[in-house]
Amino acid sequence: MPGTCVIGLQWGDEAKGKLVDLLTLDHDLVVRYQGGANAGHTVVAGENTYKLSLIPSGILTPSVRCVIAGGVVINPPACLQEIDGLVSRGIRVADNLLISDRAHVIFPWHMAEDRSLDESTSDGENIGTTQRGIGPCYRDKVGRSYAIRLGDLYRNDIGQRIEHVVTAKNRVIASMHGGEQAEPLDAKTICADYLGYAERLKPYVADSTALLLDAVDADQRILFEGAQGALLDVDHGTFPYVTSSNSSGVGVSSGSGVPGRFIDKVLGVVKAYCTRVGGGPFPTEQSNDIGQRLRDRGNEYGTVTKRPRRCGWFDAVAARYTARLSGVDSLAVMLLDVLSGMDELSICTAYEIDGQRTTNFPSHVDDLRRAVPVFETVPGWQAEITAARSIDDLPDAARGYLDRISELVGRPVEVVSVGPDREQTIFASRAAHTS
């Protein structure tokens, strides 16, 4: 079974949605397997721009089935809003979307906790979450006692369950407000709302693990769509400045239920530079005119939260680490066009930490904070490249830049994106990495 994964290798927002959309036609199923409505995928199809959060970008292709697997945390009203938005634009969702009954449900208390608890970490900086309740929902999943899964909403005892959780959560929320009177949650209202959502979602809810394992047996082609990026992986990323799921390649199996041995291709997605939203160290960050230029040209503002993204040079140390971690076969380099018009470009080839040079990505955030990037300067190019349709259409300097990234990361470049449209994509036949 050809299982393909699309994994972001940086801090998210690598334009994975465009790539998934392009690859969708070669697959029978497209699967989201971690994260939730903290993700934002923008897909431009002709005149139309779609902004998706929970629903896989594959939904725009009528011939594929889209699956939101058990590893995702689901906010029912946000999901319904997305479904309604797609339907109102003529996209067929009814037979094409399946949502796992194992997916954990985000409730109002998760949002309240996320808003109140995104305070400083022990080293004093905010994580800067998307405030979509993602972390608190995953925390309850792991804690188990106060977790409610989508399938639970269809059980007779759901009223008692919600009552039980709300009683406990009202105590938590009151204590979070330092004893000040916080508006208590009302179990009956929440229950009525969520039963309403559950009724509307019912046609989509099923056992996605069984469906995917059957698809594997039937030799169907599955595309796994990662959300966020590998540097935000809760176990292997820049902890604690991460999201609460396994957003690197290691999360595909746990989130979807499909064993790793059935995945035969991993495409690692990078921007031609780096961005990050929220807190945490970012060694190649450019808090200067260069960063502002990248932000302006790349329209680097969050799809979900609209926050301006922090911008910096391409970090080959980080990308090499996450490419290896995620078992990446080849790279997709996105937004290359954003770099046009710069005389010189810098690529981070190593870090210096306390005077020691290393190409290893540090496991502790304090070490990463002290990492001074070692930059290599390469020539830029002036020409706009948005009309390039083959590698040979690119200026020499752009080809040289891709070759250098490929060499440093240790993977060939397979796809290059030079603009948001589907057509603005180069499938590179030449393998830049030769070792």
Question: Judged by CB, which is closer to ligand IMP: 127, or 205?
Answer: 127
Could you please report the per-residue DSSP string of 231-248? GG-TTTSSTTSS-SS--S
Residue 190 CB contacts under 8 Å (≥ 6 apart), including other chains: 107, 108, 162, 166
> Contact between 75 and ligand IMP (CB under 6 A)?
no
Q: Which of 130, 253, 256, 349 binds ligand IMP (CB under 6 A)?
A: 130
The nearest distance, CB 403 to ligand IMP, in angstroms, is 28
Question: Judged by CB, which is closer to ligand IMP: 96, or 243?
Answer: 243
Q: Which of 4, 13, 351, 362 binds ligand IMP (CB under 6 A)?
A: 13
> Contact between 20 and ligand IMP (CB under 6 A)?
no
The nearest distance, CB 133 to ligand IMP, in angstroms, is 8
Using CB under 6 A, count the residues that bind ligand IMP: 21
The nearest distance, CB 394 to ligand IMP, in angstroms, is 28
Measured from the Cβ of residue 354, the count of other Cβ atoms closer than 10 Å reads 8
Which tokens sit at 323? 């490419």
Which residues, numbered 138-197, are part of the site for ligand IMP (CB under 6 A)?
A: none
Angle at 334 between CA 328 and CA 338, to 5 degrees: 150
Measured from the Cβ of residue 336, the count of other Cβ atoms closer than 10 Å reads 26
For residue 41, indicate whether it is catalytic: yes
In angstroms, the CA 174 to CA 167 distance is 11
Cα-to-chain-centroid distance, residue 132: 14
Q: Do you find a cis peptide bond into 76, omega within 30 degrees of 0? A: no
Q: Which residue is nearest to ligand IMP (CB)?
A: 278
Which tokens sit at 220? 């169907």
54 touches 85 (CB < 8 A): no
For residue 13, indicate whether it is catalytic: yes
The nearest distance, CB 134 to ligand IMP, in angstroms, is 4
Question: Judged by CB, which is closer to ligand IMP: 278, or 420?
Answer: 278
Question: Judged by CB, which is closer to ligand IMP: 50, or 401?
Answer: 50
- Among 54, 91, 81, smallest CA distance to 69 is for 54
From 17-25, 96-104, 127-135, 365-373, give the range in contact with ligand IMP by CB under 6 A. Answer: 127-135
In angstroms, the CA 239 to CA 253 distance is 21
Which residue among 41, 104, 110, 236 is the active-site one? 41
409 touches 319 (CB < 8 A): yes
Site string for ligand IMP, 220-259 (x = CB under 6 A): -------xx---x--------x-xx---------------
Binding interface with ligand IMP (CB under 6 A)? 11-13, 38-40, 127-130, 132, 134-135, 227-228, 232, 241, 243-244, 277-278
